[in-house]
Every structure is written in structure tokens, then in C-alpha cells.
With several copies, the nearest count.
Chain A
Amino acid sequence: MALDKPYKDIPGTVIFDAEQSRMGYWLNQFCMSLMKAENRARFLADERAYLDEWEMTEDQKQAVLDRDLNRCVQLGGNIYFLAKIGATEGKSFQQMAGSMTGMSEEDYRDMMVSGGRPIEGNRYTHEWEKK
């Protein structure tokens, strides 16, 4: 019997487990490299060339170029690692998180100020499928 993964049944959420980690290994290690100022500068100067130094899949590179964080997460990226791409451009965690929800930056900020996304209707995948 394989190990249980009950967290697959949460909508709009990818849990970073060993499977995701394996898939995203070089994507995440690329992100780590952006902790050094000189690498941030090199990345910004020529993103494609910098990405080509890493053993990432073409899909992963494109998702980074597109700043499609949801796609990055699906391809094994973890948000704490991916945050370093945003940091490189001076983006805050709120801007990054908001960008994954389909909301505008302002709407997301307003939602947070009004108490955040409610839990009702957001616990199980079947609750989202109805929508």
C-alpha cells in the first residue's frame, strides 16, 4: 500500500512533497542562486542565457520567463524558492501571492485588508468543481 496523500484534496493548492521536489529540483536550485547580488544582476541582464545554465526543462524556463508562478508551482517550484525571482525584481510576497489568484493587485490587497479569503467553500476540491 502506497503512502497516503490526503492533501491532494485541497483546491488551488499544491503541497510541496518529495514528488514535487524531485520534479522542481533544478528550478528551485536556480532560484536559490538568486540569493547572490551578482547572480541577480546576471539574471536580469539576460534571463534566457542565465536559465540555460541550469538543468531545467523548457517548460520550467518558459514559466519563469512568463513569471507564471502557478505554472512554476505545478512544475515543482516551491513558493519560498520562487519568491527569490520576485525579490530580484523588488516584488513583495503579497504581489507574488496575489499574482497567482487571478485577482488584480488592488483587489487582492483589499481582500486581505477585509479579512482574507474565507475558508467556506475552499476546503475540498469538489467545492471548486461545482463553481
Chain B
Amino acid sequence: MARITASVYTSHVPAIGAAMDHGKDHEPYWQKLFDGYEFSRQWLKDNTPDVIFLVYNDHANAFSLSMIPTFAIGTAPHYPIADEGWGPRPVPAVEGDSVFASHIAQSVIQDDFDLTIVNEMAVDHGLTVPLSLMCGKTDAWPCRVIPFAVNVVQYPVPSGRRCYELGKAIRRAVERYDEPLNVQIWGTGGMSHQLQGPRAGLINREWDNAFLDRLIADPAGQADMPHIEYVREAGSEGIELVMWLIARGAMADANGGPAPHVAHRFYHVPASNTAVGHLILENPS
């Protein structure tokens, strides 16, 4: 059967992609950030999965206001790179896994999550920046990717609890799959940031670190935090952090198994307007 071996959490600031694409990653401003991912790049080389189930949000690129899915799973064979307004990022297109993604969709829908199935979708920095951070510059991503987009743009977004329960359902789906796949689940977005209004630039280092602590040690408790606290304490765009709970809910301990091993933890301010948080959690094998 397929297994979730690890989860990865990381912010996904567009400026990080731009820094890499324009060769600025060794400038002092960016070097401090990329240093925090040096371990991770080696770790991913040593622990390359067959498939990454990548939870992220679209930023008005694949989805406009004409149709806003709460949860959308990509079941396409591949995904082009979105032109977000600056031209498409010069990174490889993303190869999907239609068969496995459809299996997960079926299982999760039968577990009462009302997914939207998507077969034609360009992927934006929400998906490509985490890949770039973890893989560096590359001509081909190291494995297949199943994009899973969460609406965190128009309110109401799904609750932390709903996201956490969805993670559990994804784990059940993975374990019902006959092929012996090594699967990682990534939760992306956040941490504290606000991109709009006179309060733009908000950063809450203390809150972010408390979130990381609790995500590791008490994810079920974290799942019950209401949205308003994310928005007030971590900025209007800090709400992206609910997506991390999907990945966290898919780990063994959320499903009656042992606690994960913290392989890596990193926190840095700023990347452009944003606090960058990053975790790698491994399931005991």
C-alpha cells in the first residue's frame, strides 16, 4: 500500500521565486533565507518520494471570482506554470499523477469532503515556490505532484478543524491505495503577513513560533483555533496557515500512531512582506 512518510511545511512568498529566477539568491538579503533550506534540499535528495501531495492556495491565477472552490484536487497528467502578471516563472511544468489523484478524490469524497475535481489548471507561486525552495534550480522536479488548492482568498475559508479532518481523510485514502508509493504531504503558505491596507507589513514572531510549537505537539488543539485569531494575530494573509493543518492531519499521530520526528525547523523574517516558517516532520517508519 501507499504510505505518507513525511510532511513538509513552508511559506511561499512570490519574491522568493523572483529572487531565484533572477539569480539574487546569494545576495545577503536572501542568503539568510536560503541558508535555512540547505538542510531541506539535501533531505529531499535523500528522501525523494514518488509523489508529493501539495496543499497550497491559488492567488487569483487559476481561479478568478467566476468560480471559487473550497477544496480543489488536481487529477490532470500535467500542469502549466501560471502567468501571474510578470510572465510565467522559468521553472519546469509540473507532472501530476492522474490515477493516484483520482483514487484520493474518490476516497475523500466518499468520506464526506465535497471536493472539486480539476483537470485543467495553471499552477502559481503558491505551488512552485515551495518546490523551488526544496529543490533549488532544476530542469525537472524530482517526482510527481498532486496539487490540492484551498480557498483562502474569499471568506469564508474552511475552518482549521475541517482542514485537520481532511488531512486524516487523505491519509486513509493513501493507505487504501494498492501501489507501494512513498508519499509526502506538504502544507504551504503563511506565516504571519498582511499585504493590504494601512496595517500591511504586520509580523508576529512570537505568535508564529507558538503556532510551530503547537503544530508539532498539539495539532488537534491548534485545529480548534478560530479564523479571527489567525487574521488578528498573524495578518489578513496569515490565514493561509490553516492549510498546514491538512498536512499535519495526515501524519501518523493524528490517526492513532506515534508522534513524528522533527527533522528540521527554521524561522526567518522577512522575505519581502512575510515571515517565513519551515518544518519537516517525519513519520517513524
Q: Tell me which residues across on chain A come within 8 A of B82, comparing CB atoms.
A: 35
Q: Is residue A119 within 8 Å, beta carbon to beta carbon, of the partner chain? A: yes
Closest residue on chain B to residue A21 by CB atoms: B154
CA of A124 to CA of B266 in the docked complex: distance in angstroms?
A: 30
Q: Which residue of A16, A69, A100 contacts B154 across the interface (Cβ within 8 Å)?
A: A16
By the criterion CB–CB under 8 Å, are B197 and A70 in contact? Answer: yes
Looking at the assembled complex, report how far the CB atom of B123 sits from the nearest CB atom of chain A, in whole angstroms: 14
Query: A15-B231, A97-B273, A102-B198 are known contacts. Are A115 and B155 too (CB-CB below 8 A)?
Result: no
Stretch at the interface among B60-68, B136-144, B244-252: B60-68
Chain B residues with Cβ below 8 Å from A13 are: 194, 196-197, 199, 231, 236
Complex alpha-carbon distance, A29 and B196, angstroms: 18
B178's partner among A2, A78, A83 (CB-CB below 8 A) is: A2
- Please tell me which one of the listed residues B66, B117, B232 contacts residue A10 in the complex, with CB atoms under 8 A apart: B232
Q: Report yes or no: B102 in contact with A19, Cβ–Cβ below 8 A.
A: yes
CA–CA, A31 to B177, complex, Å?
A: 32
CB pair A78–B60 under 8 Å, yes or no, is yes
B23 in contact (CB, < 8 A): no
Q: Chain A residues near B237 (CB, 8 Å)? A: 79
Q: Which residues of chain A are within 8 angstroms of B272 by Cβ–Cβ distance?
A: 92-94, 112
Contact check, B228 vs A14: say whether CB atoms are below 8 A apart: no
Q: Are B207 and A119 in contact (CB under 8 A)?
A: yes
Q: Does B59 contact A (CB under 8 A)?
A: yes
Docked-complex contact B86 and A87, CB < 8 angstroms: yes
Q: Hey, what's the 0/1 contact readout for B209-237 against A, CB within 8 Å counting as 1?
A: 00000000000000000011001110011
Which DSSP category, helix, strand, loop or mixed, fits chain A's interface? Answer: helix
Taken together as a complex, chains A and B put the C-alpha atoms of A9 and B146 apart, in Å, by 31
On whether the beta carbons of A6 and B270 are closer than 8 Å, the reply is no
Bound complex: CA A32 to CA B59 (Å)? 11
Total chain B interface residues with beta-carbon distance under 8 A:
63
**44-95 of chain A: CB within 8 A of chain B:** 69-70, 73, 78-81, 83-84, 86-88, 90, 92-94
In Å, the complex CA distance between A73 and B84 comes to 19
Contact of A88 with B273 in the complex, beta carbons under 8 Å: no
- Please determine whether B270 and A113 come into contact, CB atoms closer than 8 angstroms: yes
B156 within 8 A of A: yes
Give the top 7 A-B pairs by smallest Cβ distance, nearest first: A116-B203, A87-B85, A12-B199, A18-B102, A12-B198, A17-B155, A80-B60
Additional pairs, 19, CB under 8 Å, beyond known A22-B98, A116-B273: A2-B103, A3-B110, A3-B176, A10-B199, A11-B198, A12-B198, A15-B236, A16-B154, A18-B102, A35-B61, A79-B237, A92-B18, A92-B272, A94-B273, A100-B198, A100-B200, A108-B201, A111-B201, A118-B203
Q: List 22 A-B contacts (CB under 8 A).
A: A2-B176, A3-B106, A3-B107, A7-B231, A11-B199, A12-B200, A14-B196, A14-B197, A14-B236, A17-B156, A28-B60, A32-B65, A70-B197, A73-B196, A79-B196, A80-B60, A90-B86, A92-B18, A98-B200, A100-B197, A116-B192, A116-B202
